[in-house]
């Protein structure tokens, strides 16, 4: 866990607090920044660089260069990502999934998606197992709505599919000591023993492809940086089990509309859920924290601050694809030519347009979930 004294940043798989300093995370977690050279290497396979790479949403990695070198030599890889179903899905969750889908398309790879209904049951005091399992099923609809390839997408619902995971999780667990787990995850004497074992389960999809197909290939994990502790322990034991170390590509956390931290389901008024009605979206965006000034007159005179504005972040992360339009908006904001009301209304319209489509596809997904459910 990160020292709380220094400006209150806390980033663990179960808690994200304060202003997140990504440069510092690269240092403290010991990951690699994504360099220009690496971007070029990726672009060789994907044509144009994806927005999320161009704008450094994905900003750090482990062994992505190694993975791409293997790929050039003919060794394929699989993708692996997941979700802790502790509540409904919000727009922040969709961001790495959208990128993962892009990678699936460009590299024509299989993806394993772990729905950790077991983890959320163990970790969240107030959640019952039947609730996390239900959220898992509902959250899968959001994933499917993004258009993943059914032939190549394997969702694992942990509780239901534990028979597939159990043998590898034992191999993993046997090789991680309590002292390593404690140092990595900050376990306490009061931590329940299910939680202490649990990281072994999150390691399994890194290796499951070999068991299912007989093909031993590395996994690439696109995920928010807060998941990194899991991969540190997994990487340590991978080769002992005869597998490749999994590679990672890490993204930032989308801040809530209140500013700071990450968008979180526990703060519903600053979080846009995928099932929100258009009125709720308008209200939440209207009340968002911006970089604007007290009065319109002042803002017209001295301009506003897009760098601290949560609304601008939404354009940046997802809702303005066109780089020229984005910098135009930024410039206009800085010199007071555009006021917050206009930016908010424009954003609300885009978010609602996106959600209307998403919600339709999400409902249709109900009939086809089983196509995506991992097969034996």
Among 109, 114, 139, 313, binds ligand TRP (CB under 6 A): 114
Among 89, 204, 221, 237, binds ligand TRP (CB under 6 A): 221
Quote the least distance from Cβ 180 to ligand TRP, whole Å: 18
What residues have CB less than 8 Å from 318, skipping those under 6 apart?
91, 94, 95, 98, 354
What is the separation of C-alpha 332 from the centre of its chain, rounded to a whole number of angstroms?
A: 31
Rounded Cα distance between 200 and 177, Å, is 11
Quote the least distance from Cβ 80 to ligand TRP, whole Å: 6
- At 13 the three-state DSSP class reads coil
262 counts as binding ligand TRP under rule CB under 6 A: no
Determine the interface stretch with ligand TRP among 48-56, 170-178, 221-229, 345-353 (rule: CB under 6 A). 221-229
Among 31, 60, 100, 116, binds ligand TRP (CB under 6 A): 116
Cα dihedral 285, 291, 294, 299, rounded to 10, equals -110
89 counts as binding ligand TRP under rule CB under 6 A: no
Choice between 249 and 326, CB closer to ligand TRP: 249
Among 50, 83, 293, 358, binds ligand TRP (CB under 6 A): 83
Among 81, 109, 234, 264, binds ligand TRP (CB under 6 A): 81
Q: In the Cβ-directed half-sphere of 233, how many Cα atoms lie within 13 Å?
A: 27
Quote the least distance from Cβ 128 to ligand TRP, whole Å: 17
Among 26, 52, 84, 310, binds ligand TRP (CB under 6 A): 84
Which structure tokens are listed for 237?
A: 């034991």
Under 8 Å between Cβ of 338 and 356: no
Choice between 222 and 306, CB closer to ligand TRP: 222
15-17 vs 111-115, strand pairing mode: unpaired
336 counts as binding ligand TRP under rule CB under 6 A: no
202 counts as binding ligand TRP under rule CB under 6 A: yes
Residue number of the CB closest to ligand TRP reads 84
What is the separation of C-alpha 113 from the centre of its chain, rounded to a whole number of angstroms?
A: 12
227 counts as binding ligand TRP under rule CB under 6 A: yes
Quote the least distance from Cβ 51 to ligand TRP, whole Å: 20
Among 63, 117, 118, 119, binds ligand TRP (CB under 6 A): 119
Sign of the four-CA dihedral 231, 232, 234, 240: positive
Under 8 Å between Cβ of 259 and 86: no
Please spell the DSSP secondary structure of 279-341, one letter per residue. HHHHHHHHT---S--SSHHHHHHH---GGG-HHHHHIIIII---HHHHHHHHHHHHTTSS-HH
Rounded Cα distance between 59 and 238, Å, is 24
CA distances (Å), origin 63, targets 83, 107, 316:
22, 17, 27
282 counts as binding ligand TRP under rule CB under 6 A: no
Residues 9-38: x where in contact with ligand TRP by CB under 6 A, - otherwise, as a string: ----x-------------------------
In angstroms and rounded to an integer, the radius of gyration of the C-alpha atoms of the chain is: 21
Residues 41-80: x where in contact with ligand TRP by CB under 6 A, - otherwise, as a string: ---------------------------------------x
DSSP state of 198: T
Choice between 51 and 201, CB closer to ligand TRP: 201
229 counts as binding ligand TRP under rule CB under 6 A: no
What residues have CB less than 8 Å from 257, skipping those under 6 apart?
263, 269, 270, 271, 272, 284, 285, 287, 288, 289, 310, 311
Choice between 81 and 169, CB closer to ligand TRP: 81
State the residues that interact with ligand TRP by CB under 6 A: 13, 80-84, 114, 116, 119, 202, 221, 223, 227
């Amino acid at each position: 866990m990160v020292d709380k004294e220094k400006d209150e940043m806390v980033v663990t798989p179960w808690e994200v607090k304060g202003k997140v300093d990504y440069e510092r995370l690269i240092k403290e977690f010991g990951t690699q920044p994504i360099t220009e050279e690496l971007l070029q290497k990726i672009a060789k396979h994907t044509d144009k660089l994806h927005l999320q790479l161009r704008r450094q949403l994905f900003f750090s990695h482990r062994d992505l260069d190694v993975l791409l070198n293997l790929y050039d030599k003919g060794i394929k890889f699989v993708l692996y990502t997941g979700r802790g179903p502790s509540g409904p899905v919000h727009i922040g969750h969709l961001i790495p999934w959208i990128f993962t889908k892009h990678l699936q398309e460009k590299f024509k790879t299989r993806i394993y998606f772990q729905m950790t209904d077991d983890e959320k049951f163990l970790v969240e005091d107030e959640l019952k197992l039947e609730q996390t399992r239900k959220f898992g099923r509902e959250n899968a609809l959001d994933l499917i709505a993004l258009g993943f390839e059914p032939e190549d997408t394997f969702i694992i619902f942990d509780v239901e599919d534990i028979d597939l995971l159990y043998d590898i999780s034992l191999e993993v667990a046997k090789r991680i000591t309590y002292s390593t787990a404690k140092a990595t995850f900050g376990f306490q004497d009061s931590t329940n023993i299910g939680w202490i074992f649990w990281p072994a389960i999150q390691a399994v999809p890194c290796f499951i492809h070999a068991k299912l197909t007989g093909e031993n290939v590395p996994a690439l994990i696109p995920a928010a940086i807060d998941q990194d502790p899991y991969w540190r322990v997994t990487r340590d034991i991978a080769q002992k089990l005869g597998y490749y170390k999994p590679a990672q590509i890490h993204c930032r956390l989308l801040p809530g509309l209140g500013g700071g931290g990450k968008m979180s389901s526990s703060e519903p008024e600053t979080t846009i859920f995928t099932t929100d009605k258009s009125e709720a979206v308008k209200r939440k965006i209207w009340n968002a924290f911006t970089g604007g000034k007290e009065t319109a007159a002042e803002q017209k005179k001295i301009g506003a601050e897009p760098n601290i504005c949560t609304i601008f972040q939404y354009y940046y992360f997802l809702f303005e694809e066109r780089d020229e339009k984005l910098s135009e908006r930024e410039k206009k904001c800085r010199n007071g030519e555009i006021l917050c009301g206009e930016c908010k209304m424009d954003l609300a319209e885009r978010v609602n347009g996106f959600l209307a489509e998403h919600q339709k596809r999400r409902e249709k997904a109900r009939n086809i979930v089983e196509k995506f459910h991992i097969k034996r």
